[in-house]
Amino acid sequence: MKNRGLVLLAHGARDPEWAEPFVRIRAAVAAQRPDVIVELAYLGTMSPRLAAAIDAMAASGVTEVTVAPLLMAQGGHLKEDVPRLLAEAQRRHPRLRLNLLPAVGEVDAILSAMAEWLVGSVPRAGSEEP
Amino acid sequence: MKNRGLVLLAHGARDPEWAEPFVRIRAAVAAQRPDVIVELAYLGTMSPRLAAAIDAMAASGVTEVTVAPLLMAQGGHLKEDVPRLLAEAQRRHPRLRLNLLPAVGEVDAILSAMAEWLVGSVPRAGSEEP
């Protein structure tokens, strides 16, 4: 039985296509960690919400849930909403271990990947077509 | 004179600390591309807004501006707001070349960096402390 869970927490948007990158990340992580239940959850209008995702994992026997906010930066969501939602989940599931990862913009390897992509995305002088 | 510009376009938030990852990315890119003017701009409440950033670059002699949306995914902002803002900027600066990059979640190398980080962020069975 899988007793570890990873919730990829995204902001959410009205447009269902918005979730596509998160669906891809979920599949990539799940493929490399078959020992972990990996699910998406959203802060906004999309389903499931964070609370429902954690409750479902707890109901399926998961004993440790890591929440990874796929948000660029640490704003009101990460300083207020997410800690409150996690505290509420902890009260509902007192024996569940809950870990919160930083925003992706706080992770050096991801910042470096973004910077590298940007450095290569601006044409260099003399490289334009004739 | 630098005649290429790169605008890193972030969502913005009420909390000024929110912008810190973007400040770091800007510095990293600017250090590696001294031939390019690299500036931050925001869609929301922070300054400068996208229009002001493009206008300032045009005024300083930039002839080609690349706009890189540092947004996780392609939602309403990238489908509606940003194209409208770029079309308006093009009308104000008819000879300026304007390029729009995809959202970071559409970039394979960045998705891979996120997936790799997530794969390594969940403790493996048997690795917990005694």
What's the pLDDT tens digit per position in A45-101?
789 999 999 999 999 999 999 999 999 888 777 888 999 999 999 999 999 999 999
pLDDT at A15: 80
Q: Which chain A residues are Cβ-neighbours of B74 within 8 angstroms?
A: 15, 17-18, 20
Pairwise CB contact (< 8 Å): A25 & B115:
yes
Pairwise CB contact (< 8 Å): A33 & B119:
yes
Provide the chain B residues 29-88 that lie in CB contact (below 8 A) with chain A: 29, 32-33, 35-36, 64, 66, 68, 70-76, 79
Q: Which chain B residues are Cβ-neighbours of A118 within 8 angstroms?
A: 6, 8, 25, 29, 68
pLDDT band at A129 (very low <50, low <70, confident <90, very high): very low
What's the pLDDT tens digit per position in B89-125?
999 999 999 999 999 989 999 999 999 999 999 988 7
pLDDT band at B25 (very low <50, low <70, confident <90, very high): very high
Express as a percent the part of chain A with pLDDT over 70.
96
- Joined together, the tokens standing for residue A10 give 């995204």
Q: Which chain A residues are Cβ-neighbours of B24 within 8 angstroms?
A: 111
- Joined together, the tokens standing for residue A59 give 């109901």
Q: Determine the average pLDDT of the residues in A112-117.
A: 97
pLDDT band at A116 (very low <50, low <70, confident <90, very high): very high
Q: Please, is A73 exposed, middle or buried when counting C-beta atoms within 10 Å of its C-beta (0-12, 13-18, 19+)?
A: buried
Q: Determine the average pLDDT of the residues in B1-25.
A: 89
pTM, to two decimals: 0.90
What is the 3 state secondary structure string of chain B? CCCEEEEEEECCCCCHHHHHHHHHHHHHHHHHCCCEEEEEEECCCCCCEHHHHHHHHHHCCCCEEEEEECCCCCCHHHHHHHHHHHHHHHHHCCCCEEEECCCHHHCHHHHHHHHHHHHCCCCCCCCCCC
Nearest to A98 by CA among A129, A43, A53, A130: A53
pLDDT at A130: 44
CA A53, CA A5: separation in Å to the nearest integer? Answer: 10
Q: How high is the mean pLDDT of chain A? A: 91
Instruction: Give the count of beta carbons closer than 10 Å to the beta carbon of residue B129.
Output: 4
Nearest to B57 by CA among B43, B38, B32: B38
Pairwise CB contact (< 8 Å): A117 & B109:
yes
Closest Cα in chain A to B63? A125
pLDDT at B112: 96
Q: Peptide bond before A21: cis, by omega within 30 degrees of 0?
A: no
Q: Determine the average pLDDT of the residues in A5-29.
A: 91
Express as a percent the part of chain A with pLDDT over 90.
72
Nearest to A110 by CA among B19, B115, B33: B115
Pairwise CB contact (< 8 Å): A33 & B116:
no
A16 touches chain B (CB under 8 A): no
Q: Which chain B residues are Cβ-neighbours of A20 within 8 angstroms?
A: 73-74, 105
Q: Determine the average pLDDT of the residues in A117-124.
A: 93
